[in-house]
Amino acid sequence: MKTGEKLAAGWLLTLGFIFLSLSASAILQKISIQKTNIWIQGEVESIPNLSTDEISKIENTAVGGLIFGVPSLILGGWLALGLYRQSQQEKKALDQQVKERLQSLFYRMIQENNGRITLLGFAMQSQLPASVAKQYLDDQAKLFNANFQISEEGGISYHFEV
């Protein structure tokens, strides 16, 4: 469904731009035709006026382009904006789920280990890269005033008061 909506939005935006381009082209053509005098090599020459049927066709093209172009652009833009908002909501929901999962894991590990968490243990349990796990534990340590201990091998453990 989402792919169909993306295709529909893309097609409507494309058609809207095409119709508006045709309309703009027709308006510019009418303006250039209405100029009866052109300066050519230092002399003024007159261009014959077009018939009212030809001018009417150009005007109809301009109006038709506006009639079909503007609604197509509006509808395509509305669909695209809706898809963008939906993807942002889905991203927020996913971020919230990840945050809740990490917080639950963090509290469970603190409970099981009497307030002591190692960086490696948390990274393995959460399946996060070491740098992300370290950043998360550092943030939690600042929030809960935890103590740090660095082992002789260079491993970091966090001690939270339970």
Task: Work out the pLDDT band at 156, boundaries 50, 70, 90.
Answer: confident
How many other CB atoms are there within 10 angstroms of residue 147's CB atom?
12
> In total, how many domains does the chain have?
2
Radius of gyration of the chain (CA): 33
CA 32 from centroid of its chain's CA atoms: 40
Residues 88 and 119 in one domain: no
Residue 148 within any structural domain of the chain:
yes
Domain assignment of residue 61, given as a range: 1-92
Residues 68 and 148 in one domain: no
Residue 107 within any structural domain of the chain:
no
CB 26 within 8 Å of CB 65: yes
What are the backbone dihedrals phi and psi of residue 48, each rounded to the nearest 5 degrees, phi first? -65, 140
- The pLDDT score that the predictor gives to residue 37 is 44
CA distance 12 to 70: 10
- Which of 12-16, 72-76, 135-139 bottoms out in mean pLDDT, i.e. has the lowest? 135-139
Residue finishing a domain among 92, 121, 151: 92
Residue 150 within any structural domain of the chain:
yes
Residues 86 and 117 in one domain: no
Number of helices (H), then strands (E), belonging to the chain: the values are 4, 5
Q: For 26-61, what is each residue's pLDDT tens digit?
A: 998 888 776 654 544 445 555 555 677 888 898 899
Q: For 79-137, what is each residue's pLDDT tens digit?
A: 999 999 999 999 999 999 999 999 999 999 999 988 899 888 899 999 999 899 999 99
- The pLDDT score that the predictor gives to residue 50 is 62
The whole-model pTM stands at 0.63
CA distance 59 to 11: 25
Residues 82 and 121 in one domain: no
Residue 105 within any structural domain of the chain:
no
Averaged pLDDT, 60-84: 94
Token representation of residue 84? 């963008």
86 or 155: whose pLDDT is higher? 86
